């Protein structure tokens, strides 16, 4: 079972979840982890794609929006998308979809980002319960 980390935001800010996702992606890239970011929609994946180009002037992270298949090049270590992750990118799942990923057991680690929205918090608590029931190692980080 994967280790699941919940990153709980304390303040509301524009694109807060996406900015935290960018920081997690950068850390994962530094650790050479093949990462998949599960988004709610293709539009969300594209927004995150744009943000990854601008959030840190000093960093370049090889990434692309996934069409449901693998990366276009072996150096692309981060894929973004709404479809399930391809087998090549299952070291870390960053879940922005507010639903339990159907194949989360196939990842080494899962990151859940919880914002201040009451409905998102409720959905995160439900996922936390499922992860706990399935025997995942859980940790919470208050940001």
pLDDT in tens, 94-114: 999 989 998 899 999 999 999
Question: DSSP string covering 64-123, please?
Answer: EE--SS--SSTT--EEEESSPPPGGG-SEEEE-SSS--TTGGGSSEEEEEE-S-HHHHHH
**Encoding tokens for residue 37?**
């970011």
- Burial code of 52-77, b = ≥16 C-beta within 10 A, e = fewer? beebeeeeebebbebeeeebeeeebb
Lowest mean pLDDT among 18-22, 49-53, 64-68: 64-68
Query: What is the model's pLDDT at position 47?
Result: 94
Angstrom distance (rounded) from CA 6 to CA 113 = 6
pLDDT band of residue 73 (cuts 50, 70, 90) is low
pTM for this model (two decimals): 0.92
Angstrom distance (rounded) from CA 110 to CA 108 = 7
**141: which strand partners?**
7
Q: What is the domain partition of the chain in residue ranges? A: 3-142
pLDDT band of residue 72 (cuts 50, 70, 90) is low
Lowest mean pLDDT among 72-81, 86-95, 118-127: 72-81
Q: Give the burial class of 50: count Cβ atoms within 10 A of its Cβ; 0-12 exposed, 13-18 middle, 19 or more buried.
A: exposed
Pairing mode, strands 63-65 and 35-38: unpaired
Query: What is the model's pLDDT at position 39?
Result: 94
Angstrom distance (rounded) from CA 84 to CA 90 = 10
Q: What is the mean pLDDT of residues 54-64?
A: 82
pLDDT digits (tens, 9 = 90+) for 3-48: 999 999 988 877 899 999 999 999 999 999 999 999 999 999 999 9
Tell whether domain 3-142 is in CATH 3.40.50.10110. yes
Task: Check whether 71 has a pLDDT greater than 70.
Answer: no
Mean pLDDT for all residues in the chain = 90
Give percent of the chain with pLDDT exceeding 70. Answer: 98
């Amino acid at each position: 079972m994967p280790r699941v980390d919940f990153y709980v935001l304390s303040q509301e800010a524009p694109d807060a979840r996406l900015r935290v996702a960018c920081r997690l992606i950068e850390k994962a890239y530094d650790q050479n982890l093949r990462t998949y970011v599960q988004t709610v929609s293709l539009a969300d994946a594209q927004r995150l794609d744009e943000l990854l180009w601008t959030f840190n002037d000093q960093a370049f992270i090889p990434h692309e929006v996934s069409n449901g298949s693998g990366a276009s090049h072996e150096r692309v270590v981060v894929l973004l998308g709404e479809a399930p992750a391809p087998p090549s990118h299952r070291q870390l799942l960053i879940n922005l979809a507010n639903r339990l990923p159907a194949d989360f057991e196939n990842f080494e680690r899962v990151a859940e980002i919880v914002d201040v929205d009451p409905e998102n918090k409720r959905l995160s608590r439900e996922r936390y319960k499922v992860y706990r029931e399935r025997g995942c190692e859980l940790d919470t980080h208050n940001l």
